[in-house]
């Protein structure tokens, strides 16, 4: 006996149709989204990456520059200059112990020596009183110092590049200085005077080829000589056992800061 299939009821057909529409409608909607229908709420965090951005799509009008630091062309140029400046040689005029200009300065020459001024040979000694003159030969007309007979430049003083003070030369006394002479030769100007008493052996005699025996010292008094302020800065000859007319100072050197 054959069974006869029954036709589906209208209600069943409508229910199946509703199911197909529900299942397929989402796919259809996703594939055919209307223009401008996706907003910020539909985008997941970090969903838009750099590879998803079309080249040239972001223009200046699309960028909010508030709080955005963008190096300008001038800043880039300055950065380049700053980098190159680190390895660039120095330029400009040299100073201090150097002379000339960078990048090839040379060592500056030492200060030119200062020669002593001639004694006026009067009845007044320029080296006496509370304020003795500096840089001048001491003495009066009957007994005074002058440039040495054998040393053409006489006595000179100067400061070298390291700050040391030098005294050199030969001085002649107009009469014979006696044994035990404490004869002031000249006074150094302020700034050239040592802090402590300085003494140096020197040669004395009648001529360059005939030195006398004995102990001769060149004594340089300090800037603040408490035992006799009027002697501050004096350069004097002390000879304990000989007489003569010439003193020969090779080159004595001392500092003023120690």
**Residues 28-39, mean pLDDT to the nearest whole number:** 64
Looking up tokens 């020197």, which residue turns up? 202
Cβ 156 vs Cβ 168: under 8 Å:
yes
Could you read off the pLDDT of 149-158 as tens digits, one per residue? Answer: 887 789 999 9
- In this prediction, residue 67 has a pLDDT band, given cuts at 50, 70 and 90, of low
Residue 87: pLDDT over 90: no
pTM: 0.62
Highest CATH level, class, for 114-254: mainly beta
Domain boundaries defined on the chain: 114-254
Render pLDDT for 47-59 as a digit per residue (tens, 0 to 9).
Answer: 777 777 777 777 7
Measured CA to CA, the distance from residue 91 to residue 45 in angstroms comes to: 56
pLDDT exceeds cutoff 80 at 8: no
Please give the pLDDT value at position 156. 97
* pLDDT recorded at residue 148: 92
Section 162-183 average pLDDT: 88
Work out the average pLDDT over 151-180.
Answer: 90
How far is 180 from 183, CA to CA, in rounded Å?
Answer: 9
What is the average pLDDT across 96-114? 82
**Residue-level pLDDT at 81:** 62
Could you tell me which residues come within 8 angstroms of residue 157 by beta carbon, excluding any fewer than 6 positions away? 113, 114, 135, 165, 166, 167, 168, 188, 192
Q: How confident is the model at residue 186 (pLDDT cuts 50, 70, 90)?
A: very high
Predicted confidence band of residue 188 (pLDDT cuts 50, 70, 90) = very high
Residue 77, pLDDT score:
64
Whole-number pLDDT of residue 106 = 85
39's CB contacts (< 8 A; 6+ apart) are none
Task: Tell me, rounded to whole angstroms, the distance of Cα 36 from its chain centroid.
Answer: 68
As a residue count, the chain comes to 258
Range in 70-79, 95-104, 147-156, 223-232 the model is least confident about: 70-79
Provide, for the chain, the percentages of residues in helix, strand and coil under a 3-state DSSP scheme, each rounded to the nearest 5.
15, 30, 55
* Runs of H (alpha helix) within the chain: 10-31, 73-85
Which residues, including other chains, have CB under 8 Å from residue 123's CB and lie 6 or more apart? 140, 141
Position 115 confidence tier, pLDDT thresholds 50, 70, 90: very high
Count the Cβ atoms, other than its own, within 10 Å of residue 125.
19
Q: Can you tell me the distance from the alpha carbon of 206 to that of 143, in angstroms, rounded to the nearest whole number?
A: 16
| Amino acid 207: pLDDT | 76
Q: Kindly tell me the sign of the dihedral angle through the C-alpha atoms of 184, 189, 194, 195.
A: positive
Q: Which of 15-19, 110-114, 249-253 has the highest mean pLDDT?
A: 249-253
Burial group, residue 223, by CB count within 10 angstroms (0-12, 13-18, 19+): middle
Instruction: Work out the pLDDT band at 134, boundaries 50, 70, 90.
Output: very high
């Amino acid at each position: 006996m054959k069974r006869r299939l029954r036709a589906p009821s209208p209600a069943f057909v409508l229910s199946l149709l509703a199911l197909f529409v529900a299942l397929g409608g989402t796919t259809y909607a996703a594939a055919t989204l209307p223009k401008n229908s996706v907003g910020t709420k539909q985008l997941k965090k970090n969903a838009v990456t750099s590879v998803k951005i079309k080249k040239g799509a972001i223009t200046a009008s699309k960028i909010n520059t508030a709080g955005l630091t963008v190096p300008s062309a001038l800043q880039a140029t300055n950065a380049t200059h700053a980098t190159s400046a680190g390895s660039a040689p120095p330029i400009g005029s040299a100073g201090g112990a150097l002379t000339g200009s960078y990048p090839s300065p040379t060592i500056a020459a030492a200060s030119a020596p200062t020669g002593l001024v001639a004694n006026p040979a009067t009845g007044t000694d320029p080296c006496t009183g509370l304020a003795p003159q500096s840089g001048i030969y001491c003495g009066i007309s009957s007994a005074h110092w002058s440039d040495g007979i054998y040393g053409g430049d006489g006595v000179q003083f100067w400061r070298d590049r390291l700050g040391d003070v030098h005294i050199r030369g030969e001085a002649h006394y107009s009469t014979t200085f006696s044994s035990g002479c404490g004869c002031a030769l000249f006074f150094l100007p302020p700034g050239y005077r040592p802090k402590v008493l300085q003494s140096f052996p020197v040669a004395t005699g009648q001529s360059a080829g005939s030195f006398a025996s004995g102990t001769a010292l060149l004594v340089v008094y300090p800037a603040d000589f408490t035992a006799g302020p009027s002697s501050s800065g004096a350069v004097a000859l002390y000879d304990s056992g000989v007489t003569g007319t010439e003193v020969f100072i090779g080159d004595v050197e001392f500092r003023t800061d120690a």
